[in-house]
């Protein structure tokens, strides 16, 4: 059978076990967050211990306790490594001062920050070349929709487009089609 065949045969079982572990961990984590009303690393650590203990419950209390300790320690290592990495990579390199800082204090985003949201005073509110168009009034919307019985032009961004409430076809002028409203292929 070989190593590849053995891996292929065991892959669904391993995937299922991991899915059960992940689902149980998520349930414990969300439950602890709701009970404690805090989102901190202790939720994950306690959830890892609870998940390990619950999954080993069929093997007895001794196995349940050891699996809970292992699960808690593993999640503590993962959380600790995550906190360490966040702190390490969040530090500013030595000799790299912020040019926008006034007296060593950061006062906000730099001026002309192109990544700033439009409400925080970034480069500009609208790209150049675009104009603001007014929304059509209720009367104009009814006319555009074909309610008034006569053709009306609307702002189509530079393209010649006309809506009318007349017949069904756009290019057919024979007049033998039934009035189909807006549907371009006539009525069914």
Whole-angstrom CA distances from 122 to 16, 76, 98, 127, 147 are 49, 41, 19, 12, 43
State yes or no: pLDDT of 139 exceeds 80. no
Look at the pTM and tell me if it is higher than 0.85. no
Taking only the tens place, the pLDDT of each residue in 43-73 is 999 999 999 999 999 999 999 999 999 999 9
Task: Give the mean pLDDT of 14-27.
Answer: 95
Instruction: Determine the number of helices (DSSP H) and then strands (DSSP E) in the chain.
Output: 4, 2
pLDDT computed for residue 118 by the predictor:
65
- Give the 3-state DSSP-derived string for 114-146, with helices as H, strands as E and coil as C: CCCCHHHCCCCCCCCCCCCCCCCCHHHHHHHCC
pLDDT at 105: 57
176: left (phi over 0), alpha (psi -120 to 50) or beta: alpha
- Could you tell me the two tokens for 106? 């950061």
Residues of the chain with pLDDT > 90: what percent? 45
pLDDT of residue 161: 55
Strand partners, 163: 152
Q: How far is CA 166 from CA 19, 57, 143, 148, 154, in A?
A: 60, 75, 12, 10, 17
pLDDT digits (tens, 9 = 90+) for 112-137: 666 766 664 545 555 555 555 565 56
Question: What distance lies between CA 44 and its chain's CA centroid?
Answer: 23
């Amino acid at each position: 059978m070989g190593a590849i065949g053995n891996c292929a045969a065991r892959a669904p079982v391993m995937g299922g076990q991991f899915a059960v572990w992940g689902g149980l961990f998520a349930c414990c984590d969300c439950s602890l967050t709701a009970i404690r009303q805090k989102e901190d690393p202790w939720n994950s650590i306690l959830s890892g211990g609870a998940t390990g203990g619950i999954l080993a419950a069929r093997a007895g209390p001794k196995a349940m306790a050891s699996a809970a300790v292992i699960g808690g320690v593993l999640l503590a290592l993962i959380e600790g490594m995550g906190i360490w990495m966040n702190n390490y990579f969040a530090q500013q390199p030595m000799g790299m001062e912020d040019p926008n800082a006034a007296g060593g204090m950061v006062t906000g985003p730099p001026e002309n920050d192109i990544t700033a949201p439009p409400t925080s005073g970034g480069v500009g509110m609208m790209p150049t070349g675009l104009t603001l168009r007014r929304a059509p009034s209720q009367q104009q919307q009814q006319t555009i929709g074909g309610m008034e019985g006569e053709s009306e032009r609307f702002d189509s961004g530079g393209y010649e487009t006309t809506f009318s409430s007349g017949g069904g076809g756009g290019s057919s002028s024979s007049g033998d089609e039934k009035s189909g409203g807006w549907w371009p292929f006539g009525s069914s």
